[in-house]
Amino acid sequence: MNLNKILYRTITTSKSASKKVTTNDLSSKKLKHSSQQWLSRQMSDPYVDKAKMLHYRCRSAFKLIEIDDKYKFLKPGDTVVDCGAAPGSWTQVAVNKVNADAADSKLKVGKVFSIDKQQIFPINGAAILGNMDFTQTASQEELRKALNGSKINAVISDMAPSATGIGQMDKENIIHLCYSVLRFAVLLSDIDAAVLVKLWQCGETKKLETDIGKFYRNVKIVKPNASRADSAEIFILGRNFKGLKVS
């Protein structure tokens, strides 16, 4: 297996995807219609109401809850890294799942490290690295320092790139984020660890699934009920990390 080819994979965008997009390319009428659709969907979404009731910062919490309830890869005492964590709903779930806030004195106490290039307001039980771009080497070095030698049991990522308005470019960009997460996870994870990444269904999905399978014994493509039905969003979960053989 060629580790360099997989771990340091880069995405080359097509010429057609590299066009500059300006606000003039989109009519104000279309933007207004899109905003109205979003507002209407939010108001009728049961997960939005449920998130408010349970004090989660956003509805995406239920995606992670559903995936972990089914596959049980987050356990008390685990060390978890949450990539692209803002506003923090996945971190809230992870803290609860691994008992990072020591809420249950009978269980092992885990650790949760959350990183995002946006600000993340404090979450009890989590180490927050806000205003840091996970894809940058300097940010990952800061994360390594925070881990202080701890091996990771799960790397989770709900990261998505800023939308360009060009479908192909957006899909390539999110695949690039997935490989960045995979590389980090492979280098710092403990044996039998897990990795969970978000992407949009595209032509690269199968290749990413295959590449994750080179390092994790069990790989699943999952789409939780909390993901909107009309969304191309899916998640790939890799479990039982094989470890790296050092030659």
Distance CA 17, CA 25 (A): 14
Q: Which helix (H) or strand (E) holds 200?
A: strand 189-200
Active site residues: 198
Q: Is 231 exposed, middle or buried (0-12, 13-18, 19+ CB in 10 A)?
A: exposed
Distance CA 85, CA 133 (A): 11
Distance CA 67, CA 50 (A): 17
Distance CA 59, CA 65 (A): 11
